C-alpha cells in the first residue's frame, strides 16, 4: 500500500486466519476494485492437550478459544 497525500489508496476491509490460510479482503479507493488475497498461514497455531496442561490450569484453558 502506498500513501497518497497522507491517506492510503487501499483499504483493508477484512482479514481472517485459519490454521492453513490467511485471507484478506481489500478495496482500491481510486479504482473501486475489490480483491481477495489468500496465502498459506504464516503463523504456527499451537494446541494444548489435557496431558500438557497442569490439572490446576485445565479449567482456564478448556474455555479458551483462538
In tens, the pLDDT along 30-59 reads 999 999 999 998 765 555 565 655 555 545
CA atoms within 13 A on the CB side of 27: 6
Its pTM surpasses 0.75: no
Structural domain boundaries, residue 26: 1-43
How many alpha carbons fall within 13 Å on the CB side of residue 48?
A: 15
Instruction: With respect to residue 19, please indicate whether it lies within any of the assigned structural domains.
Output: yes
Domain assignment of residue 18, yes or no: yes
Q: Report yes or no on 27 lying in a domain.
A: yes
Asked if residue 55 belongs to a domain, the reply is no
Residue 4 pLDDT class (50, 70, 90 cuts): very low
How many CA atoms, within 13 angstroms, populate the side-chain half-sphere of residue 17?
Answer: 7
Predicted confidence band at 27 (pLDDT cuts at 50, 70, 90)? very high
Q: What is the pLDDT of residue 41?
A: 86
Whether residue 10 lies inside any domain: the answer is yes
Radius of gyration of the chain (CA): 19
Residue 49 in domain:
no
In the numeric block, the cell 490467511 is attached to: 22
How many independent structural domains does the chain possess? 1
Q: With respect to residue 61, please indicate whether it lies within any of the assigned structural domains.
A: no
**What mean pLDDT is reported for the chain?**
74
Amino acid at each position: 500500500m502506498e500513501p497518497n497525500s497522507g491517506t492510503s489508496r487501499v483499504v483493508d476491509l477484512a482479514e481472517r486466519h485459519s490454521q492453513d490460510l490467511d485471507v484478506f479482503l481489500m478495496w482500491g479507493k481510486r479504482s473501486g476494485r475489490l480483491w481477495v488475497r489468500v496465502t498459506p498461514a504464516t503463523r504456527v497455531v499451537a494446541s494444548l492437550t489435557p496431558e500438557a496442561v497442569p490439572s490446576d490450569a485445565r479449567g482456564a484453558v478448556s474455555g479458551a478459544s483462538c
